[in-house]
Amino acid sequence: MFDIERWQEIFDTIRKNKLRTFLTGLSVASGIFILVILLGFGQGMQNGIAAEFKEDAATSLWVWPRRTSLEYNGLNPGRRIQLKNDNFETITTTLNSDFEKASMLYFPRDVQVVYNNDLLVYNVAGTNGDLQTIENEFLTEGRYINETDVRENAKVVVISNKIKREVFADLETPIGEYLTISGAGFRIIGVFGEHGKQENEEERMFIPITTAQLTFNGADNINNMNFMLPELDSFDEMVAENTKFTDQLMRFLKQKHNIAPEDDRAIRIWNPIQEAERYYSLGKGIEIFFWGVGFFTIIAGVVSVSNIMLIVVKERTREIGIRKALGAQPWSIIGMIMHEAIFVTAIAGFTGLIFSMGLLEIVGPHVEVDYVLNPSVNFNVAVSTVLLLIIAGTLAGFFPAWKAVKVQVIEALRDE
């Protein structure tokens, strides 16, 4: 490897065979270029599809009450069910299921929101901090409602990006401003946003649930409970866990509120995992598809690099014979050919890699096509691919070189 004479011999060969070297290098470099771009767009498509489906957290479920539809225990059908704080507490403390997040929502009625003497038409909801994760909201500024706010009935409010845009466009930041909600001053502490195109969910502002119940005479009423279950390794496990939790929840609430066990209309549970199921299988399918595309592209790369090496060695059969006649050891010939091959493919391969990764890096973030988002390629994957192609090229060069060295000199010299 560090034999200077060998290097000189190789550089001689490369310099004197510029066209051959250039063509070999070009095909290897372009092969890797195409491969990396393809892998990048595969990733981009996966990102894009993931982004399209990235709305509410997939393992969340929403619970809200309706009216009973069946008579039960002497109670008439059509009775309105009201969820209470202690329902939520019982579920969170005693129901035997480990969920990651739990939140409740209270929607006060007839609320007036005023800012600078303008009446604003947005909904107000009381909640706690976990809602952010369950609704999959992101923060653009400030902070979300936290436990201290809930405990201390803090008069704070988190507004949406849309509200910020529509009401506070003149201000650098709405944080610290006060909104008057039904006569009480609420300080803005944060701005949230919704992923995707769910702008309608940005019509809301959130205040601590305790503050909401207290300020708007809500007593201990709640309108909504939300739970998020942990993500499990397999989707089937997740569905099973979800079903088990839903059943327990239903049984408990029906018992608590005197609802007929077979009355399915009194309590509604929205369970997006069914929708998620489609997303998951789609995501899996797409992942498999792009692994397939990547795999076959690599195979194609391996085949073409191998092909080039085969031709290069074939072309040198006569030279190998001459060198042998002059007393070259078989291994020195194989070593020389391999050395040159590895050198050329490595240089060309990494050139292709740098160009393609540069292109992805520059163009990638600006791609604005549906279902393609930030095409990029994992550096390790790309480097491994290049190494794989180099190894493949080397192996592909080795066997014909081995064969050429084994050929009788006389026959090699006859090879025109």
- Is residue 272 at the binding interface for other proteins, with CB under 8 A as the rule? no
Radius of gyration of the CA atoms of the chain, in A: 34
- State how beta strands 204-208 and 123-127 pair: parallel
Task: Determine contact, residues 67/265, Cβ cutoff 8 Å.
Answer: yes
Taking the complex as a whole, how short is the minimal distance between the CB of residue 336 and other proteins, in angstroms? 10
Taking the complex as a whole, how short is the minimal distance between the CB of residue 397 and other proteins, in angstroms? 18
Taking the complex as a whole, how short is the minimal distance between the CB of residue 15 and other proteins, in angstroms? 9
- Is residue 17 at the binding interface for other proteins, with CB under 8 A as the rule? yes
- Is residue 384 at the binding interface for other proteins, with CB under 8 A as the rule? no
- Is residue 8 at the binding interface for other proteins, with CB under 8 A as the rule? yes
- Of residues 124-143, which lie at the interface with other proteins (CB under 8 A)? none
Total residues at interface with other proteins (CB under 8 A): 26
Q: Which is nearer to other proteins, 71 or 315 (CB)?
A: 315
Taking the complex as a whole, how short is the minimal distance between the CB of residue 407 and other proteins, in angstroms? 11
Among 141, 177, 275, 319, interactor with other proteins by CB under 8 A: 319
Taking the complex as a whole, how short is the minimal distance between the CB of residue 312 and other proteins, in angstroms? 13
- Is residue 413 at the binding interface for other proteins, with CB under 8 A as the rule? yes
- Is residue 7 at the binding interface for other proteins, with CB under 8 A as the rule? no
Among 170, 233, 234, 327, interactor with other proteins by CB under 8 A: 327
- Is residue 317 at the binding interface for other proteins, with CB under 8 A as the rule? no
Least Cα distance to 405 among 309, 336, 303 occurs for: 336
Taking the complex as a whole, how short is the minimal distance between the CB of residue 284 and other proteins, in angstroms? 54
- Is residue 16 at the binding interface for other proteins, with CB under 8 A as the rule? yes
Among 332, 346, 367, 395, interactor with other proteins by CB under 8 A: 332
- Is residue 325 at the binding interface for other proteins, with CB under 8 A as the rule? yes
- Is residue 9 at the binding interface for other proteins, with CB under 8 A as the rule? yes
- Is residue 407 at the binding interface for other proteins, with CB under 8 A as the rule? no
- Is residue 13 at the binding interface for other proteins, with CB under 8 A as the rule? yes
Taking the complex as a whole, how short is the minimal distance between the CB of residue 415 and other proteins, in angstroms? 11
Q: Which is nearer to other proteins, 162 or 324 (CB)?
A: 324
Taking the complex as a whole, how short is the minimal distance between the CB of residue 24 and other proteins, in angstroms? 15
Positions that interact with other proteins (CB under 8 A)? 5, 8-9, 12-13, 16-17, 318-319, 321-332, 405, 408-410, 413
